[in-house]
Amino acid sequence: MAIQTEYDPDSDRIMAVSFGPQHPGAGHFRLRLWLDGDYLVKSEPDPGYIHRGEEKMSEYRNYIQNVPHLERPVILDSSNILFPYALAVDELMGNKVPERGQYLRVIMSEINRIISHMYFIAIEGLFTGHTTLITWCMGDRDFWIDLASRIGGARVTFAYIIPGGVRNDMPEGLTEKALKTCDWFEKRMDEYEKIFFKNPVVLTRMEKVGVLSSQDAIRLGAVGTVLRASGVKSDLRKDEPYSHYDDFDFEASSLNGGDSWSRAYVALLEMRQSVKIIRQAFKNIPTGPVRLKLGPQPRVPAGEVYARTEAARGEMSFHLISDGSPRPYRLKIGSPSFKNMRVLPHLLKNVHIADIPIIYWSLNYWPLEADR
């Protein structure tokens, strides 16, 4: 049924409601909603509840000291936010990262992508009321965290991809464990498809809900799974390959629906491609050193660089300006959730209240990353 309500600020049918920051469906974020009965007429995001001032803090720390706090914004895939930072600093310094280090960066980046997408799909299950999916996905995610912690050391914050390479080499016996995990996981993904993505109840709830056309996606600056689910096959790993991504054989997944189901399903397709990349990386990884010794206070020559990579949620970009001192002059983090936030008020308009969590979470909006 088409909703014809226009937002009329003088109408006394409109009620303004706060959705968040304490709400099971909102996370650390607040959405202001204007409702006309059961219909949502207008919405406005109110971020900043977790704005910790990362960019100002990075001006007080040198390039190595910046690594721990820069990986906290999107702690779910912490390696993927350090990746463009490492690329930016390496480009400014002219570092030639050793080959084995580059392959390890790819491996860690893809494992983190799977970890992040598993959280995304788990909470998709939660918001659609599919509690089996959230329990399965949160449990299976722990196997990937085990694998990543064998390389990185901690459970979620690895501080692994640093300027100059990676922090340490991977331990012995990791290849068999990784390949076993990949084999097991592919069968699990088939099961997720059967119980969730092809489930008629879920399809009724998520198909044709929150449709974003490709022109709107490009115009509003959407990135990542949101852009790819609207028919634009844009993946920075294919378009602007960094760190030997062009050595691997994989595809950029995209769908034409532009609705919430497509945005969730693209994540599953990407996980399949990530498993492919991990397999190839473990098979073909060269030997050699894994990092350049940069010392505790690397001196970076003056310059300006804009580096971007494909994080789990989309294009993560770093604008780094150095003035020759050991600390950055300006570090600007362009996080994918902030870029996708503009899509929220565009989609959350003229829908029923019950569609709000579906649309909101399908954009894979992580408030910490948007607020930095």
Binding to another protein (CB under 8 A) within 266-305 occurs at 292-299, 301-305
182 binds another protein (CB under 8 A): no
Binding range to another protein, per CB under 8 A, among 22-30, 99-107, 198-206, 274-282: 22-30
In the complex with another protein, the residue whose CB is nearer, 208 or 301, is 301
Distance, CA of 227 to CA of 235 (rounded, Å)? 9
Residue whose pair of structure tokens reads 């959280």 in the numeric block: 119
CB atoms within 10 A of CB 207: 13
Which residues lie below 8 Å from residue 365, measured CB to CB, with a gap of 6+?
29, 337, 340, 341, 344
Q: Which residue type does 158 have? A: F
Nearer to another protein, 282 or 298 (CB): 298
Q: Identify residues 118-177 at the interface with another protein (CB under 8 A).
A: 119, 135-136, 138-139, 141-142, 145, 155-157, 164
- Residue number, 184 or 329, with CB nearest to another protein: 329
Q: Shortest gap between Cβ of 368 and another protein (angstroms)?
A: 6
Taking the least distance from each CB to another protein, the nearer of 76 and 255 is: 76
Answer yes or no whether residue 23 interacts with another protein by CB under 8 A. yes
Does position 62 interact with another protein (CB under 8 A)? The reply is: yes
Q: How far is the CB of 84 from another protein (least distance, A)?
A: 11
Q: Which is nearer to another protein, 161 or 236 (CB)?
A: 236
**Which range in 93-101, 166-174, 280-288, 357-365 contacts another protein by CB under 8 A?**
93-101
In the region spanning residues 199 to 258, those forming contacts with another protein, defined by CB under 8 A, are 218-222, 227, 232, 234, 236, 239-240
38 binds another protein (CB under 8 A): no
Is 367 in contact with 27 (CB distance < 8 Å)?
yes
Distance CA 63, CA 326 (A): 7
**What minimum distance in Å lies between the beta carbon of 200 and another protein?**
25
* Count of residues interacting with another protein (CB under 8 A): 87
* Of positions 1, 4, 9, 22, contacts another protein by CB under 8 A: 22
Quote the CA–CA distance of 306 and 165 in Å, as a whole number: 19
Nearer Cβ to another protein (26/269): 26
Q: Alpha carbon of 225 to those of 69, 213, 268, 311, 367: distances in Å?
A: 26, 13, 10, 10, 16
- Which span sits near another protein by CB under 8 A: 91-99, 259-267, 269-277, 280-288? 91-99
8-state DSSP, 258: -
Beta pairing class for 39-46 and 161-162: unpaired
> Is residue 86 part of the contact set for another protein (CB under 8 A)?
no
C-beta of 285: minimal distance to another protein in Å?
Answer: 20
Closest listed residue to residue 364, CA positions, set 95, 148, 74: 74
- Stretch of residues binding another protein (CB under 8 A), selected from 9-17, 21-29, 177-185, 355-363: 21-29
Give the three-state DSSP class for 289: coil
CA distances from 28 to 31, 40, 49 (A): 10, 21, 6
For another protein, the binding residues in 306-365 under the rule CB under 8 A are: 306, 308, 315, 317, 319, 321, 323-327, 329-330, 332, 334, 338-339, 341-342
Structure tokens at 4: 């014809």
Instruction: Verify binding: residue 184, another protein, rule CB under 8 A.
Output: no
Q: Which amino acid is at 123?
A: I
Helix pair 260-284, 174-192: axis angle to 10 deg: 160
Residue number, 245 or 261, with CB nearest to another protein: 245
Place of tokens 């449709």: 211
Q: For the beta carbon of residue 95, count every other beta carbon within 10 angstroms.
A: 19
